């Protein structure tokens, strides 16, 4: 597909999707959202890609909604734009492959929501996070936020509209790790490339399992996990990886 606001790089089983609208601080317009929806839909079907990295580069992520566009929307005719936002969100969340957010700068409002749809979040020291919707008389996305940081903290994020720095986001469990400014993408790519050496189907089904068990009681979750584990243990790939690990351990 022809991309105007996104860049796609692939290699070593990793797809790097970079939001590229620097003159607007990567603000989310309908065109950007449309490209996200289409591209992630295509990536989800690709057998050569095992992990996806979503980023805005080393110095920014996304300032959020394109306010020039939002200001033109009327309540009586907002359905199309609202549906587009959520299709883009779902394209990331339900992408077959694990999606890692590499946040190099502010991820605010709609930009924050994009990171929320990812499976793992890493940040640089200059990153900032905030659900600013409440300040614009808009309701924010609470789910899956509460599943990640807990309901009490999610209410604070949503109701105060406060901006959090990278270290505070890490302490609350929203960000997995903070890297020095300028070193984010190198470190995230190392993680992604390591993940991409794992079985593609196992990665995809582990991601799917994480989403499924949230709606199960404990007994149901344990049964789901047992069933999935049984479908992998004893497989040829499982044996090959065990043999390789044992060989490596003997050489130490």
High-pLDDT (> 70) share of the chain, %:
99
Residue 14 confidence (pLDDT): 98
Q: Residue 243: exposed, middle, or buried by beta-carbon count in 10 A (0-12, 13-18, 19+)?
A: exposed
pLDDT for 89-121, tens place per residue? 999 999 999 999 999 999 999 999 999 999 999
Residue 146 confidence (pLDDT): 95
Q: How confident is the model at residue 80 (pLDDT cuts 50, 70, 90)?
A: confident
Average pLDDT over residues 43-54: 98
pTM value is: 0.92
Q: How confident is the model at residue 45 (pLDDT cuts 50, 70, 90)?
A: very high
pLDDT for 24-34, tens place per residue? 999 999 999 99
pLDDT for 210-231, tens place per residue? 988 888 888 988 888 888 888 8
Residue 78 pLDDT > 80: no
- Enter the DSSP assignment of 126: T
CATH of domain 6-195: 3.90.226.10
Q: How confident is the model at residue 176 (pLDDT cuts 50, 70, 90)?
A: very high
pLDDT for 152-172, tens place per residue? 999 999 999 999 999 999 999
Alpha carbons 2 and 132: distance in angstroms, whole number: 32
Cβ within 8 Å of residue 142, ≥6 positions away: 154, 158
Please say whether the beta carbons of 19 and 62 come within 8 A.
Answer: yes
Residue 77 pLDDT > 80: no
Alpha carbons 47 and 20: distance in angstroms, whole number: 25
Residue 186 pLDDT > 90: yes
Domain ranges of the chain: 6-195, 200-250
């Amino acid at each position: 597909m022809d991309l105007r606001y996104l860049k796609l790089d692939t290699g070593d089983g990793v797809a790097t999707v970079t939001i590229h609208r620097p003159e607007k601080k990567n603000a989310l317009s309908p065109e950007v959202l449309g490209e996200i929806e289409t591209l992630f839909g295509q990536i989800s079907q690709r057998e050569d890609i095992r992990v996806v990295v979503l980023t805005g580069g080393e110095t920014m992520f996304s300032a959020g909604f394109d306010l020039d566009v939002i200001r033109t929307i009327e309540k009586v005719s907002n359905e199309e734009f609202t549906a587009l936002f959520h299709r883009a969100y779902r394209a990331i969340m339900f992408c077959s492959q694990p999606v890692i957010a590499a946040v190099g700068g502010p991820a605010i409002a709609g930009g924050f929501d994009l990171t929320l749809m990812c499976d793992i979040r890493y940040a640089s020291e200059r990153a900032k996070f905030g659900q600013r919707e409440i300040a614009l008389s808009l309701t924010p996305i609470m789910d899956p936020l509460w599943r990640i940081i807990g309901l009490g903290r999610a209410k604070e994020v949503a109701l105060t509209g406060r901006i959090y720095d990278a270290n505070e986001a890490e302490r609350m469990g929203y960000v997995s790790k903070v890297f020095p400014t300028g070193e984010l993408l190198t470190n995230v790519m190392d993680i992604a490339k390591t993940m991409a050496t794992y079985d593609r189907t196992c990665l995809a089904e582990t991601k799917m399992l994480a989403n499924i068990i949230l709606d199960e009681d404990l007994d149901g979750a344990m049964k789901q996990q047992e069933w999935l584990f049984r479908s992998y243990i004893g497989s040829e790939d499982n044996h090959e990886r065990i043999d390789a690990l044992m060989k490596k351990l003997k050489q130490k």
